[in-house]
């Protein structure tokens, strides 16, 4: 695994063939960067960049302004300048609406699991009354998307049949669609037959942890023009946490999405219908997850909205126990029910990084954090 060395000099000219170049904007509030560029037409600004260069396992970071990057690229070649300008324009260009949702402001996706084995028991829904309660609480507290899942994707979870998954989600989705409220329903599924069934009853967004890797899925979303969320995952839920390996997780995942987006567009999928999810906790070590968060703004260079879901996940427990151990104290595993504070810390960080969709089990608390944060930067 590569480690980032911070230095004053690049390994090679930007966007040349001998080294990969990535840029991650250093973000601030508009009041802090008066002459900065707006990120994706949203609520964060930037003037300077972290320029990452990777050559085999050698990885360096140089901080420079956007103008410095363009100057160095122009000095090397016209091709380098064109690529640098393209990457900066991807950072700046306003994102079009996704499923009619405004991507120039943060959106909250509430999680409802129609499963008996979700890692967080409080999110499990096993009857219609509980579904109604959670649904109306979430939309009243600020959720613009409700994500419905019928199959657990926690580490070690075994795949269930599409028939069982459909039987779990079809009635809840029918009920939610009949509520006629101003929110969107997302289906969290990796099964094409479930997608087809739920498309017929009006689901608005398809959220696939396997990133629509099968050709027949791509043909379906191209034909139906459905908005989709593509997530990165190494291996499958049943084995994804068994020794996952990356050269450097942020850049490896960036390259995965760059190719995936290109392939989808080539297959006829509209770029405006694509959201990416780096997949926190899906085939990643604690170090991988932290590096993704540290370089989260990097993913804006892909030119599409970003979704982050770290709600109640095990990295919160891992970090807490690591800190206790460092202070010479023993602390057992922190259960999902005690991971709200850590969830909010990651949610606020994602918001500060300009992430357009935040997936959470705790809509009220997340929205409250965003509201308080917003007023601090008015």
Active site residues: 313, 359
**Inter-residue contact 61 to 332 (CB < 8 Å):** no
Q: What is the Cα–Cα distance from 14 to 23, expressed in whole angstroms?
A: 10
CA dihedral of 337, 339, 340, 345, whole degrees rounded to 10:
-170
d(CA 230, CA 253): 12
Which CA distances in Å does 116 have to 110, 119, 157? 18, 9, 12
Query: Where does the chain have alpha helices with state H?
Result: 66-76, 78-92, 128-140, 162-177, 192-200, 215-224, 249-266, 286-294, 314-326, 340-352, 363-376
Q: DSSP E strands: which ranges in 223-312?
A: 228-231, 274-277, 307-308
- The H or E element spanning position 46 is strand 45-55
First to last CA, the chain: 41
Instruction: Confirm if 244 and 235 have CB atoms less than 8 A apart.
Output: yes
SS3 assignment, position 236: coil
Judge contact between 229 and 187, C-beta under 8 A.
no
Helix axes 162-177, 128-140, angle to 10 degrees: 60
- Encoding tokens for residue 218? 């791509």
Do residues 224 and 273 lie in contact, with contact meaning Cβ atoms separated by under 8 Å?
no
């Amino acid at each position: 695994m590569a480690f980032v060395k911070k230095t004053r000099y690049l390994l090679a000219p930007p966007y040349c063939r001998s080294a990969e170049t990535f840029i991650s904007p250093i973000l601030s509030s508009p009041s802090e960067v008066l002459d900065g560029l707006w990120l994706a037409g949203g609520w964060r600004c930037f003037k300077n960049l972290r320029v990452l260069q990777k050559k085999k396992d050698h990885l360096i970071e140089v901080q420079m302004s956007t103008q410095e990057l363009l100057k160095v690229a122009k000095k090397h070649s016209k091709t380098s300048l064109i690529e640098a300008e393209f990457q900066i324009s991807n950072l700046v260009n306003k994102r079009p609406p996704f499923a009619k949702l405004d991507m120039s402001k943060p959106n909250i996706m509430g999680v409802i699991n129609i499963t008996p084995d979700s890692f967080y028991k409080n999110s499990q829904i096993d009857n219609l009354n509980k579904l109604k309660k959670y649904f109306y609480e979430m939309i009243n507290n600020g959720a613009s998307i409700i994500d419905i899942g019928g199959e657990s994707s926690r580490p070690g979870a075994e795949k269930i049949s599409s028939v069982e998954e459909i039987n779990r989600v079809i009635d809840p989705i029918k009920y939610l669609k009949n509520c006629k409220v101003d929110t969107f329903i997302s289906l969290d599924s990796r099964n094409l037959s479930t997608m087809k069934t739920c498309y017929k009853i009006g689901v608005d967004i398809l959220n696939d942890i396997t990133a629509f890797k099968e050709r027949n899925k791509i043909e379906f979303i191209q034909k139906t023009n459905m908005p989709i969320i593509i997530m990165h995952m190494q291996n499958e839920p049943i084995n994804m946490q068994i020794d996952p390996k990356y050269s450097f997780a942020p850049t490896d995942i960036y390259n995965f999405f760059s190719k995936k987006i290109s392939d989808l567009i080539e297959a006829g999928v509209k770029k405006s219908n694509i959201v990416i999810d780096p997949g926190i906790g899906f085939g990643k070590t604690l170090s991988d997850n932290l590096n993704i968060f540290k370089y989260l703004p990097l993913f804006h260079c892909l030119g599409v909205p970003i979704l982050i879901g770290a709600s109640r996940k095990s990295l919160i427990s891992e970090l807490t126990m690591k800190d206790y151990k460092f202070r010479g104290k023993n602390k057992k595993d922190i259960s999902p029910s005690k991971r709200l504070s850590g969830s909010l810390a990651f949610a606020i960080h994602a918001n500060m990084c300009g992430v357009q969709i935040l997936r959470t089990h705790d809509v009220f608390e997340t929205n409250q954090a965003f509201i308080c944060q917003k007023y601090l930067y008015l």
